[in-house]
Every structure is written in structure tokens, then in C-alpha cells.
Amino acid sequence: MGTTLAEKVWESHVVRRAEGEPDLLYIDLHLVHEVTSPQAFDGLRLAGRPVRRPDLTIATEDHNVPTTGLGQPIADPVSRTQVETLRRNCEEFGVRLHPMGDASQGIVHVIGPQLGLTQPGMTVVCGDSHTSTHGAFGALAFGIGTSEVEHVLATQTLPLKPFKTMAITVKGQLAPGVTAKDIILAVIAKIGTGGGQGHVLEYRGEAIRALSMEGRMTICNMSIEAGARAGMIAPDETTFAYLKGRPHAPQGADWDAAVENWKSLVTDEDAVFDREVVIDASELSPFVTWGTNPGQGLPLSANVPDPKDFENEQDRVAAERALEYMGLTAGTPLRDIRVDTVFLGSCTNGRIEDLRAAADVLKGRRVADSVRMLVVPGSVQVRLQAEAEGLNEVFTAAGAEWRGAGCSMCLAMNPDKLAPGERSASTSNRNFEGRQGAGGRTHLVSPQVAAATAVTGHLAAPTDLAGEPALVNA
Amino acid sequence: MRAFTTHTGTAVPLRRSNVDTDQIIPAVYLKRVTRTGFEDALFAAWRQDPGFVLNQPERAGATILVAGPDFGTGSSREHAVWALNDYGFRVVISSRFADIFRGNSLKAGLLTAQVDQDVVERLWEIVEADPATPVTVDLVERTVSAGDLVAPFDVDDYGRWRLLEGLDDIDLTLRQADAIDSFESTRPSWKPRTLPVLS
Ligand code: SF4
């Protein structure tokens, strides 16, 4: 019997296998940021242990960094301490760091691919659940906790029990204006926030093959929102073309050797997945969330659901609470929901294509007076690229705020926050209670929907705008 | 890591599903660089509501949390486990845990006991009827008991062994240093490095 992509990558990283014990897996790349690492470095210091492979480790500052007043010290003393702690730790342990102000600084899951460090067939970990993003390259990439961060720093390995595998086949083609974000929101609504538990999801099918690397990253990014350990997409010519020439991509003869190896990273025809889910891309339309977990989503054309219509008791209770927290009434058309803030950014949708897609919608239009729109590029490089293309001017001319790179309002650890009761349309990945600020209410959307919402002041798709622009798939 | 064999204490019924780690500990508390002192952060937003179950006087001193399905979803923050530990919890019982949360708990000596949802419902009834009911979680026998209820719970063998022994994962792995060395010697040379390596 053949093996799946996930199993192939797993098998090629087993350092040690023993009966009754987890496999010891080698880690090719360890990404580090300021929030989940201080206690891990402390642990090393206490035990007198070095970082085993600083050359397979890289750090950046992202979660706490302000996105205005760049170049100033961080005003919040607690955030500043955390960032300074990372700097000290990286220096002491010899780990390369991209600090604020560095040309390669940015959200950890944006800079790995951008630098060409994320490559097919690798194992990638980070003390951050959205490490699943890197699976878009055919890497086995997953989030870990701080104790595991310490474990990887000390040993470059992790003891792990094998994951189960799930195929998510997205067949057919997306309609114009429907994006990778809509696919993944629909997948999570279908399988539920616990549906992927214990599994690695492999996304396949025509609609996935047609996506750019950026769209693939958006999909893999949110695998964790379906409870999965990781998401993966088999590498292909799109992947190789994206990697070629990046700073850390192999060169010359090494490139040829690497590509030959990468081409073998596909699920065998006769491989069996533990579970299979099929979705028809042609039936998808722009998707938004109405509740307080990412599985509580519906097409934009739907109405706020009535909790009474949920068959399962837990789902009904959860929906009741969600509507109460979100301040929504069952039966309201989703399009009638007015928002105060639009956030375009995060490791889900803060890359250059996302900014281009939103700028296409905003060009020649104005953000509604009642709306504040923040545009936060995922990395310094994305920001510079956008500025080179003049996208920043489109945003500012429309009345949006053009910011520096970081996680920003995705989790509100820096000053970018929702006030209690404020409502946002956000291109990030989590609509949990208080995620974007205590009492804040979040609707997850694609960059295109975010931009159209900013213009109209209520949840909307580009097709709702007068003199609608040419639609592009992203 | 402290060892865990069996534990008896009172329990808190948390009648919610999808308790994500942003609820267990909101992001503002993640700025600390220490590993302890997170007790004030546990369920910080919900605790502002005087009616929240943790604020009920009869729940003071409870050490076992009984929650709805999909507990610990979302962010990988191990701070969620530290906050539960610091508050005094030794065990969380649920019918389904998020994977990363479960892994983190194991590293920090917090037992996550996975039971069927009807066991969760019965536990809720029992400890709501009498908050003083002692609940016993026995890792040796893999059972949870309260009143006349005795039910098995799920925990993987290796994790159970490590908890029972209180073993440090890193020490265990470092015993395999030879295997790691030999694996490294076979890695393809084109795999990326973050630093120039002098050799
Ligand atoms: S952008 Fe949001 S989800 Fe992504 S790493 Fe930052 S905080 Fe986490």
C-alpha cells in the first residue's frame, strides 16, 4: 500500500523508533518569536544547555511590535521587556534575529517562506499554532508549546505520536471573486473546530492546484482552526517557481538535487487516508463568520442562524452564547451587519497578493466615514513591495491607515485593539471572544470582502459595489 | 515535572464547549517572561462576571475542572496550562481536547482526562448538586470517580508513564544523542541553514 505525503515527510525524519514510545522526529527549521520563547531559553540556562543547532533556528519580533511610530522604543514597558528578552536570548545563544527595523522583520509565518527557508519535505515547528501555514510548501509544519520549544532548542528533535491523515479534496473551479479564504472558512464550517483533531489535512484537487502559493498559505494557515495539527499541499511547479532565487533556496546543482527530491513528495495513488472530505469549489461564494469560533461561518448571502435550528445541543448552546456576545439577532441578513473597523493583515492574509486584491477593490473609492480601516503588511518586505507598487497610496487615498509590519490587531497584544462592543471585519484567523480586544466582536473575511465592507460600512462583497471592478481570483 | 498518580479534590463544572486558549488566558497576559504567577490571568475576562462559576464561593479551592468538548482550542500558548496550574487545578476533564493543549499539559504535569460526553454530563450534575463532592482521578487505574459514578478515561500509555514518573522529556531525549548525531550526518547538504556555518 502506498503512503501519503504527510507519512513520507514523517518517515524521512524519524531519528529513533521504539516499541511503545513516540517516534523521535528531527526538526529541520525552528522559528522563534518573543511571546512563547522566554521561558524556554530560561529553561536552557537553568540546565546549562546550549542551543543544539542555532543554524536551523531563526527568530523575529512580531506579536508585540507597534505598527506606528516605527523606530521609537516600544511604549508599553511589559511588551518592551519581552522583546528585549528575546534580543538578549538570541545574542547569548547565537540565534539569528530579525528585530524591529530589520528589512526581514515580520510575522514569523510570513518571513519563513519569504526568505526561502520554508521548503518542501521539511519539518518546521514554532511556538505558534499557525505554523501550519508552512505546510503550503509540502512541509510538515506544526505549532508547539513552550516546553517543546525548549526541547527543540536543546535537541533539534521532538518525541511525537504519529498523526492521522485526512484528505480534503476541493474539486472544480472557484467562481470569480471567491478566494482561498472562502475555501478554508467553508472547510472549517463543514468539519467543525474539532473535526481535524489529531489529523494532518492534505488539501488536494483542481481548485487547490490552481491557487498561488499565497492562497495555499492562507488555507494551510487556518488548518489549526479546524483542530488539525497541520495542513499540507503537495509541492508542484507553482511551489518551485515561488522558491527559485529566494535567499535561502538551494542554488545550482543543489537546486536540481532538491527539486528532484521535492518531486517525489506526493501522496501515492493507492495510499489510504483515515478520512476524506470533498468540497465542490464551484458551489462556494464569499464566506464570513457570524459567531465566536471559526467554524461558525456562512456564505455572505445567508442570514444570522437561529440557534433553535441546530440539532446538536452543544452547538445550540454555543450559538446562543455567540449571538449574545456578538450582539446579533437570528434572521438578520449577514449583509446588514454594520462594522466599525476593518483589519487587513495577519499571517492569514497579510501578504502582497492580499494587499493587491484589497487595493483593487478600494481603487478610486472611499472607506465609509463610519469605518476605521487598518492595513498592516505581514512583513517589512511586503510593506516595501506594496509601496513600490503604489498600493499604500491607494489605501491612504481611500482613507485607510497604512501601518508597519506585525501581528497587530490579529491578537491585540500591541496598541491596535477593538474597544468593548466594537465590531470588525478582519482578514485574520480567529474570532474568539476578546481576541481583538476585550469585548470586541470579530467577523472573519477575505481581503476582498474586507475592502468592500470598508467601503459600504456593512459586510459586503466587491460585487455589491456600484460600478463593480473586474474580479480577480486570488 | 511533578509526578501524578492519583488526585482527589472538588470540581468546577464549566458548562461551555470550545473553550479556546484566548478565554483560558487572554493575550495581554502573555507579555510576562516568567513561567509562574499566572493565577490572576486564568479566565480573566469571564471572571469579571460575578456569576461566573469560578467566582462562586463554594468553588473555592477546587482542583478539577470539568468542561465541555473541544477544550483548549486555538493558540499554542502554554501559558494556558500554567494559568490552570497556578490557579490550583491538577486535572481537566473533557470529552475532547485540542491536540497542542493536550501536549502542553503533559509537559507541565496537568492531567487532561478524556471521557465520554455523557460522563461529563453526569459529573456536571453531581458536582452541581453538591459542590463538596470529592472527585477522584486515578491515573494508575485510569478512572474518574465521584459519588456512585466510576468511569474510565483516556490517556495514552507513554504520556501516562511519563506523568506517573514525573520524567523530564529533554533528559529522556538527550539519552538518544548518538541517534541524533547519526541522523544529522545523513541530512542532504542542500537543506537550508539560517546562519553561515564555519566548518
Ligand atoms: S498574525 Fe495573528 S495568528 Fe498570525 S502569528 Fe501573529 S498573532 Fe498569530
Joined grid coordinates for residue B115: 471521557
Q: Which amino acid is at A441?
A: R
The proportion of chain A whose per-residue pLDDT surpasses 90, expressed as a percent, equals 92
Q: State pLDDT tens for residues A211-245.
A: 999 999 999 999 999 999 999 999 999 999 999 99
When mean pLDDT is compared across A64-78, A254-268, A415-429, the lowest value belongs to: A64-78
What separation in Å is there between the alpha carbon of A44 and the centre of ligand 1?
26
Q: State pLDDT tens for residues B8-56.
A: 999 999 999 999 999 999 999 999 999 999 999 999 999 999 999 999 9
Q: Would you say A202 and A174 are in contact if contact means Cβ atoms under 8 Å apart?
A: no
Q: State pLDDT tens for residues A444-470.
A: 999 999 999 999 999 999 999 976 544
Coil, strand or helix at B154: strand
Q: Which residue's CA lies nearest to atom 6 of ligand 1?
A: A407
Indicate the length of chain A as a whole number.
474
Which chain A residues are Cβ-neighbours of B23 within 8 angstroms?
A: 432-434
Q: How confident is the model at residue A24 (pLDDT cuts 50, 70, 90)?
A: very high
As a dihedral over the C-alpha atoms of residue A420, residue A423, residue A424, residue A429, rounded to 10 degrees, the angle is 70
Q: Which amino acid is at A269?
A: E
Calculate mean pLDDT across residues A398-415.
93
Calculate mean pLDDT across residues B182-197.
92
Of the candidates A38, A128, A151, the beta carbon closest to that of B173 is on: A151
Q: How confident is the model at residue A328 (pLDDT cuts 50, 70, 90)?
A: very high
Residue A16 to residue A177: CA distance in whole angstroms: 48
Nearest one of A473, A2, A5 to A231, comparing CA atoms: A5
Residue A272 to residue A1: CA distance in whole angstroms: 8
Provide the ipTM: 0.91
pLDDT value of position B166: 87
Residues 209-268 on A with a CB inside 8 Å of B are 224, 227, 229, 248-250, 254-255, 257-258, 261
Alpha helices in A12-126 (DSSP H): 38-47, 77-93, 108-114
Which chain B residues are Cβ-neighbours of A56 within 8 angstroms?
A: 193-194
Query: Would the CA dihedral through A432, A434, A439, A443 be positive or negative?
Result: negative
Which chain A residues are Cβ-neighbours of B180 within 8 angstroms?
A: 15, 24, 26, 52, 155-157
Comparing alpha-carbon positions, the chain A residue that sits nearest to B157 is: A20
Coil, strand or helix at A259: helix
Interface contact B28-A55, CB threshold 8 A? no
Query: Is residue A126 annotated as involved in ligand binding?
Result: no
Q: How confident is the model at residue B68 (pLDDT cuts 50, 70, 90)?
A: very high
Q: How confident is the model at residue B1 (pLDDT cuts 50, 70, 90)?
A: confident
Strands lying side by side in the sheet with B11-14: B11-14, B64-67, B91-94, B111-114
Strands lying side by side in the sheet with A164-171: A230-232, A199-204, A164-171, A275-280
Q: B14, B15, B17, B18: best mutation site toward chain A, by most A Cβ within 10 Å? A: B18
Residue A79 to residue B129: CA distance in whole angstroms: 44
Calculate mean pLDDT across residues A286-313.
97
Of the candidates B18, B33, B191, the beta carbon closest to that of A81 is on: B33
- The answer to whether the CB of A128 is under 6 A from ligand 1 is yes
The DSSP code for B29 is G
Q: Would you say A218 and A180 are in contact if contact means Cβ atoms under 8 Å apart?
A: yes
* Residue A165: count of CB within 10 angstroms of its CB: 24
Calculate mean pLDDT across residues B68-86.
96
Alpha helices in A308-377 (DSSP H): 313-326, 346-349, 352-362
CA atoms within 13 A on the CB side of B136: 13
- The answer to whether the CB of A435 is under 6 A from ligand 1 is no
Q: How confident is the model at residue A425 (pLDDT cuts 50, 70, 90)?
A: very high
Q: State pLDDT tens for residues B97-143.
A: 999 999 999 988 999 999 999 999 999 999 999 999 999 999 999 99
On average, the pLDDT of chain A sits at 95
- Statement: residue B199 has pLDDT above 70: no
In our burial notation (b when 16+ CB lie closer than 10 A, e otherwise), range A94-110 reads ebbbbbbeeebbbbbbb
- Statement: residue A164 has pLDDT above 60: yes
Comparing alpha-carbon positions, the chain A residue that sits nearest to B174 is: A155
Return the H-helix or E-strand segment holding B13.
Answer: strand B11-14
